[in-house]
Amino acid sequence: MTKSYHNLIDGELVGTGTTMEVLNPANEEVIGLVPSCGKDELDRAVAAARKAFKTWSKTPIEDRRAVIQAMSGAIKENADELFRLLTSEQGKPHDQAKGEIYGAAGMMAAQSTLNLDDEINEDSDQRLSRTRRVPVGVVGGIVPWNFPVMMAMQKIAPAMLSGCTIVLKPSPFTPLATLRIAELIKDIAPAGVVNIITGEDSLGPLITEHEDIDKITFTGSTATGKKIMEGASKDLKRITLELGGNDASIVLPDADVEKVAEQLFWSSFSNAGQICVAAKRIYIHEDIYDELSAAIAKVAEGVTVGDGSQQGTGVGPIQNKKQFDRVCELIQDAKDNGYKFLSGGDVDPSGTGYYVPITIMDNPPEDARIVAEEQFGPVMPLMKFSSEEEAIERANNSEYGLAGAIWTKDTDKGVEMAEQLETGTVWINEFLHLSPFAPFGGHKQSGFGAEYGKEGLQEFTYPQVITVKKDAAV
Ligand code: NAD
């Protein structure tokens, strides 16, 4: 029998009359039934969060830290069960799912060590002025399907640490591991501090527009981000938007071809390319283009696409049918335009499971859809460039501004070029590394605000300045 999962509202595990099916993208079988919530369940969750906010916001930060650390511990203790469940709903290979579960637990523990210290603005004979950080209240968190556990926990942990309470909505495609975590933390977090409710996409706007939610923290597509902004504008909710990206990697001629090939490959194909900060456009200097593209294609030959629960799988299926169709459409467009493929490109749409072969494109034009649009799939366009200026200009020629990378032995040159990229994050000689202590956020249509670090924590607060006139004649 298919397992039924529950939501977490006011410290209780609850179900609803209506449920939604969750599929395994590797074989399209139903693997779980989850509540399909509407306005009534949302109202109950928000009311619980509002009630809990009264005491949680006054709870000393050291106690809040301890609760987050206990939650992190519960996730770690149950990592084995959780990573298997994550693979079954998301598709990523077991080793990558394990990385996400331990990564989420580690990130929570690390973030729990952050502080919201007061800042002194003026301490003169006349006055003492101090800024304190006040939790905004009830937070609505909305997350996508590519890193469902990491994204959920990276919103829950800082919201809690700041003194806020949260109502979190997982993606309807990947709620299972998050709901299992809800069971694990039910008796760790005080009732109402963390509420996790599931529903179709239609639950999202109800959260965005809810009159008793003070802030929305959203990770997902740019198109949905715009709707969130519109919905949140009705009562001027605070918003943090972590949106799409079309990240460029620039490989300079001094890069070590063999070493870089493997790293570039995985910067594009980890999680079947479904990463906001995956390398989605690779610009290679013409002097090493042929050699490096051949080396990347060789790495691809040794990687198996398949069911993530099977040993030896390097790239799993696409997470859902809609995204599968979109990636197939981009590949078909490349074929229709006669662009060259170094590998892959032949999808079998009649097969079971949403599998797309590792697809590497040989120097498609800059305006090809597969280059200009975020693919969010196992597709890697390699492009040739002649000068550094040209590479920077082409990398910046995007509506997105999430991340990018420079690959070179000359790290000073790498930094100089990094400073010219219009993105929130730039790596020199690595990719995908995010620190819980450094702000992560986008520029342009990749969103605004930040997660992680002090800046990320402050997003759950507003600054209150208190000024004491020292020499007042009262
Ligand atoms: P999506 O925007 O379709 O959905 C994300 C979440 O929003 C889901 O929970 C969905 O149910 C909900 N939603 C849908 N319509 C809504 C609405 N009108 N109002 C409120 N909520 C609504 O995104 P996705 O397809 O799940 O995720 C893929 C996208 O997420 C990619 O573009 C990727 O780049 C981006 N992403 C960004 C980051 C980042 O940190 N910048 C991280 C991961 C993914």
CATH number, residue 297: 3.40.309.10
Is residue 158 domain-shared with residue 302, that is, in the same domain?
Answer: no
CA dist., res. 270 & res. 250, Å (int): 19
What is the identity of the amino acid at 279?
A
Residue of the nearest CA to atom 16 in ligand 1? Answer: 204
CA 252/CA 391 separation, integer angstroms = 10
Cα–Cα distance measured from residue 197 to residue 15, given in angstroms and rounded to the nearest whole number: 10
Does 118 map to a domain? yes
How many beta carbons lie within 10 A of that of residue 80, not counting itself? 10
DSSP 226-259: HHHHHHHHTTT-EEEEE----EEEEE-TTS-HHH
Amino acid at 71: M
pLDDT at 17: 84
CA of 144 to the centre of ligand 1 (A): 5
Pick the catalytic residue from 41, 89, 100, 242.
Answer: 242
Co-location of 17 and 166 in the same domain: yes
Does the annotation count 29 as an active-site position? no
Contacts of residue 372, defined as CB under 8 A and 6 or more positions apart, other chains included, come to: 246, 366, 398
Q: Residue 219 has which token pair?
A: 């990770």
- Tell me, using a 6 A CB cutoff, whether residue 402 lines ligand 1: yes
In a domain, 402, yes or no: yes
Q: Are residues 91 and 239 in the same domain?
A: yes
Is residue 75 in some structural domain? yes
Alpha-carbon Rg for the chain, nearest whole angstrom, is 23
Q: What is the pLDDT of residue 33?
A: 98
Chunk the chain into consecutive blocks of 10 residues (it has 474) and report each block's average pLDDT, rounded to whole numbers. Answer: 94 94 98 98 98 98 98 98 98 98 98 97 97 98 98 98 98 98 98 98 98 98 98 97 98 97 98 98 98 98 98 98 97 98 91 97 98 98 98 98 98 98 98 96 98 98 97 84
Q: How far is the C-alpha of 290 from the C-alpha of 298, rounded, in Å?
A: 12
Q: Is residue 375 domain-shared with residue 346, that is, in the same domain?
A: yes
Asked if residue 358 and residue 273 are part of one domain, the reply reads: yes
Q: What is the pTM of this model?
A: 0.97
With beta carbons less than 8 A apart as the criterion, state whether 367 and 345 touch: no
Residues 214 and 294 in one domain: no
Alpha carbon separation from 80 to 173, 284, 464 (Å, rounded) = 21, 40, 44
pLDDT digit string (tens) for 34-89? 999 999 999 999 999 999 999 999 999 999 999 999 999 999 999 999 999 999 99
Assess whether the C-beta atom of 143 lies below 6 angstroms from ligand 1.
Answer: yes
Q: Is residue 236 part of a domain?
A: yes
Query: Closest Cα to atom 14, ligand 1: which residue?
Result: 201
Domain limits at 332? 248-428
Is any ligand 1 atom within 6 A of the Cβ of residue 442?
yes
Query: What ranges make up the beta strands (E) of 74-200?
Result: 119-123, 127-135, 138-142, 165-169, 194-196
Query: Do 452 and 111 form a contact (C-beta atoms < 8 A)?
Result: yes
The confidence score (pLDDT) of residue 350 equals 81
Centroid of ligand 1 to alpha carbon of 220 (angstroms): 2
Give the largest Cα separation in the chain, rounded: 83
**Cα-to-centroid distance, 13 and ligand 1 (Å):** 25
Q: Coil, helix or strand for 160?
A: helix
Report the number of distinct structural domains present in the chain: 2
Q: Indicate if 261 and 309 belong to the same structural domain.
A: yes
Q: Is 33 left (phi over 0), alpha (psi -120 to 50) or beta?
A: beta
Q: Going by CA atoms, what residue is nearest to atom 43 of ligand 1?
A: 276
Q: Are residues 27 and 119 in the same domain?
A: yes
Q: What local confidence, expressed as pLDDT, does residue 473 receive?
A: 81
Closest CA to 443 of 470, 425, 455, 419: 425
The rounded Å distance from CA 143 to ligand 1 centre is 6
CA of 84 to the centre of ligand 1 (A): 23
Flag whether 438 is in a domain.
no
Q: How far apart are CA 261 and CA 198, in angstroms?
A: 40
Establish if 156 belongs to a structural domain. Answer: yes
Q: Any residues with CB less than 8 A from the CB of 93 and at least 6 apart, and which?
A: 87, 308, 313, 314, 315, 316
Is residue 164 part of the annotated active site? The answer reads no
Give the CATH number for residue 74: 3.40.605.10
User: 24: which 2 tokens?
Assistant: 């395994």
C-beta of 245 in contact with ligand 1 (< 6 A): yes
Report the pLDDT value the prediction gives residue 160, as an integer from 0 to 100.
Answer: 98
How does 285-316 read in b/e, with b if 16+ C-beta sit within 10 Å? Answer: beebbeebbebbbebbeeeebbbbbeeebbbb
Q: Which of 145, 201, 222, 444 to mutate to test the pocket of ligand 1 (most atoms within 8 A of CB)?
A: 201
User: Is the domain of 211 the same as that of 286?
Assistant: no
Residues 238 and 252 in one domain: no
- Please indicate, yes or no, if residue 434 is contained in any of the structural domains: no
**Residue 55 covered by a domain:** yes
CA distance 224 to 204: 9
User: What values do phi and psi take at 438, rounded to 5?
Assistant: -120, 140
